[in-house]
A and B are shown apart, each in its own frame.
Chain A
Amino acid sequence: KAGVTQTPRYLIKTRGQQVTLSCSPISGHRSVSWYQQTPGQGLQFLFEYFSETQRNKGNFPGRFSGRQFSNSRSEMNVSTLELGDSALYLCASSLTGTGTRTDTQYFGPGTRLTVL
């Protein structure tokens, strides 16, 4: 079974631009979560999508948004980029989501975003 894939792997943008990241979950997984990882703040939860609906959200500004398609693929969008948005963005998929006791999250390799 193919793992979680994320595209692109690396991205360089300038302040004020917007960016869209893509995540393809493991086949059959319906939940996709997004995380931001930085040296200073560590791994922080952005949001989770399940069956095309945002089911949970972390404490990030509205510039961060996402969506999920009927095939469970998910996209994350960041508008009006700031220098502080430079980070590794990870997505993770699971069968039913983070609310179950035995569900394991499988992570993709991440997208490294650099904002200049």
Chain B
Amino acid sequence: KQEVTQIPAALSVPEGENLVLNCSFTDSAIYNLQWFRQDPGKGLTSLLLIQSSQREQTSGRLNASLDKSSGRSTLYIAASQPGDSATYLCAANNFNKFYFGSGTKLNVKP
């Protein structure tokens, strides 16, 4: 069974810093890997989807990479802003099932 781990569980940084969130998965036979953002008490918003054949995806200040061989993905956030404060979750898509990590709670201090 796929297991997804996210480190760190929580992160607090000053505004303007660049930061990296980590996601690891045990089964490399994935269709894709997605990064989501969840604000308190709300649903998830898809940020980036990396297909299994891709190495990275970019959207604005966000860049996600995927290394299937090592079972790792990273989410890079450039020039962080207070509005980026949220919980970030990664999800591995294994043949019709999404397996989620427990998330990294990010706090960007003004």
Would A106 and B46 count as touching, CB distance under 8 A? yes
B64 CB within 8 Å of chain A: no
Interface residues of A in 88-116 (CB under 8 A from B): 88, 90, 92, 97-102, 104-110, 112
Nearest Cβ in chain A — how far from B97, in angstroms? 6
A56 to B99, CA, bound (A): 13
Q: Is the CB of A48 within 8 A of B46?
A: no
Which of the four size classes fits the interface of chain B? 20 to 34
**B95 and A101 contact, CB distance less than 8 A:** no
Q: Which residues of B are in contact with A by a Cβ distance under 8 Å?
A: 31-32, 34, 36, 41-46, 49, 51-53, 89, 91, 93, 95-103
Instruction: Tell yes or no: A64 within 8 A of B by CB.
Output: no
A101 to B27, CA, bound (A): 16
Question: For chain B, what secondary structure do more than half of its interface residues adopt (helix, strand, loop), or is it mixed?
Answer: strand
Chain A residue nearest to B36 (CB atoms) is A107
Residues on A with C-beta less than 8 A from B96 are 48, 55-56, 97-99
Report chain A residues within 8 Å CB of B89.
43
Contact flag A102-B44 (CB < 8 Å), given A42-B100, A48-B96, A56-B96: no
Roughly how many angstroms separate A39 CA and B41 CA in the complex, as a whole number? 12
